[in-house]
Structure 1
Amino acid sequence: MNKKIESQGLWFEELTVGLVIQHDIKHTVLESENEDFCLKTHNPQPLHLDPKFAATTVFGQRIVNSLLTLSLAVGVSVRDTTLGTTVANLGFEETTFPNPVFLDDTLSFETEVVDSRASSSRPETGIVTFEHRVFNQMGNLVCRCRRNALMHRRPSTQKPVGGTDV
């Protein structure tokens, strides 16, 4: 059975070390989505939910749940990197949140390929390490994480973008 792979993402061969993708999507974090995220993840942290409590903290106001920020970092990247071309997410490492995200901050996103290697056990795949970075509207880094993904190699029937028949 032949399976056609629909893709907007990049194949393993296209994800070369040093490639930096500035994602077009910008996202303003709303109070309602922060509250919904906390509710759905069973996180009652008052730093995210209670304005009176948050006003007494070092931040002086509520901060956005950091895992919402991380989820956005990965989610926004999918269309430009792994949509239809990934086998599996292998894990995260070196995740940091150097600055807080506040309600109504507008976030921008970029992804860099920082490592890439062929899979020794699955010749039709390769392992790519992405570094996702998120910035607030002032250009401050608010999230950085490295993600390892098992990626499909380009199928032999798939021509490179702009490629021609030989």
Structure 2
Amino acid sequence: MTDDTDPTDWTDPETFRAALDRAETREKGTYFEAFAEGDRIEHDPGIRLSRAGNERWMSQTLNHDPAFWRTDAAAEWGYDEPPIHPDYLLAATMGPSVEDLSEKGGYFLGRTDVRYRADAVYPGTELRVDSTVIETRASGSRPEYGIVTWETTGRDAETGDALVSYRRTNMIPRREPLETDGGQTAGTDGGQTTGERTDADPELGLPDTLLTPDGQHFEDFRAALDDADGRDAAVAYRHERGRTIDDALLAGLPLSTLNTAKQHHDAATMADSPSGEPVVYGDVTRSIALGHARSDERTYREVGYDDERFHDFVIAGDTIYGFTRVLGASETPTVELPSGVDATGAAGEVRFQHVAFNQDEEPVYSGTRTALIETRD
């Protein structure tokens, strides 16, 4: 029912400001106190994974692996057609969870146990997402926040089969800040940074020699590791490409994955934040760094990720570069492979540490990755 007799001009600037002052805000997101260990949350939003969305993500983050673009290359790798890229699948799983889990704000402390559960996910798959609260605890350094860890799974909506899963940890604002820090020592939030810079000079401890593989195949990574063995050396190198953050990366990609966090698109709210402006979705930063890395290797399959950390915020105009350290190589997989993957003779397992850094050579993301890399023959 409408009141057509109301003489008030609600669009008069002074009147409207007075109305805003009196109106209650219908809030989005969830405060820390609402999370309890064991709670399972089914996220209402879901995404139909389209080829257009997949190719937009890949092109913007410089992920040009041929098997995800070309039918003939996909067939060579055993796919029925170019599949959904694992970075896009991961981002499209995290995006729908944001409204229920982290839209209130707070720092993204890290993610681990990222595992792909199926060999291939194809365009047209409808994605449903659920999360379980694994742990809640007080923040030792910020009484106005708590810390929550969730396990999140992206599933095929038709079959219910798990496609990807991970654990992530965030600081979440409390509805009522603690009066004290609970007797904990400041800075005991798991040893992870929270977007605040530090001028401390760490002890370097670098090896004398950094080696670069001679090629992009599994044998090249293994040979470089063999060369480093028994020497004060490591296999570590930087990637040439950079990607400067523009509007498509800052707001376009997160919104296309249903990531509604105001940190990525609400400049007015972010004006009072430490960054002073919107910041980039962490999965965009991550995917750019991994795209740089994959351009220097023959990636056969992605297996999983661990110990992912976001060390500082990224804003418009920053440029993201990539650095890689090779940790190990094995002809026989040491971790469980996605369902349907048989890499015998086609690929070997390589473990990497990847670091994304900005134009000031400051790390903004790091994580370990396990991937199958094609053998030369």
Quickly name the TM-score band, shorter chain normalised.
0.7 to 0.9
Q: For 1:17, give the aligned amino acid.
A: E
Structure 1 unaligned runs (5+)?
Answer: 157-166
Which SS does the other structure have where 1:23 is aligned?
strand
Q: Which residue is 2:85 aligned to? A: 65
Alpha-carbon distance, 1:44 to partner: 0.6
**Aligned partner of 1:131 among 117, 130, 151:** 151
Q: Which residue is 1:8 aligned to? A: 28
Give CA-to-partner distance per residue, 1:55-107, whole Å, 9 cap, x none. 22223322111111111111101112222x22111111110111132111111
The TM-score normalised by the length of structure 1 is: 0.85
Q: Which residue is 1:97 aligned to? A: 116
Q: For 1:72, give the aligned amino acid.
A: A
Q: Which residue is 1:82 aligned to? A: 102
Give CA-to-partner distance per residue, 1:25-47, whole Å, 9 cap, x none. 22111111111111001011112
2: distance between equivalents of 1:134 and 1:108? 6
Structure 2 unaligned runs (5+)?
Answer: 1-23, 178-377
Kindly, what percent of the aligned residue pairs are identical? Answer: 27
Q: Which residue is 1:29 aligned to? A: 49
Which SS does the other structure have where 2:45 is aligned?
coil
Report the CA distance shift for 1:132/1:72 in structure 2 as closer, same or farther (over 3 A).
Answer: same
Alpha-carbon distance, 1:155 to partner: 3.5
Q: For 2:124, give the aligned amino acid.
A: D
Q: For 1:95, give the aligned amino acid.
A: V
Indicate if the aligned counterparts of 2:144 and 2:174 stay in contact, CA closer than 8 A.
yes
**Aligned partner of 1:44 among 64, 67, 87:** 64
1: distance between equivalents of 2:74 and 2:100? 36
Larger gyration radius, structure 1 or structure 2: 2
Q: For 1:144, give the aligned amino acid.
A: S
2:158 aligned with 1:140 = no
Alpha-carbon distance, 1:5 to partner: 8.5
Indicate if the aligned counterparts of 2:93 and 2:127 stay in contact, CA closer than 8 A.
no
The TM-score normalised by the length of structure 2 is: 0.39
Runs of 4+ aligned structure 1 residues displaced above 6 Å come to none
Q: For 1:81, give the aligned amino acid.
A: L
**How many residues matched?**
152
2: distance between equivalents of 1:88 and 1:21? 21
**Aligned partner of 2:134 among 109, 114, 121:** 114
Alpha-carbon distance, 1:7 to partner: 3.2
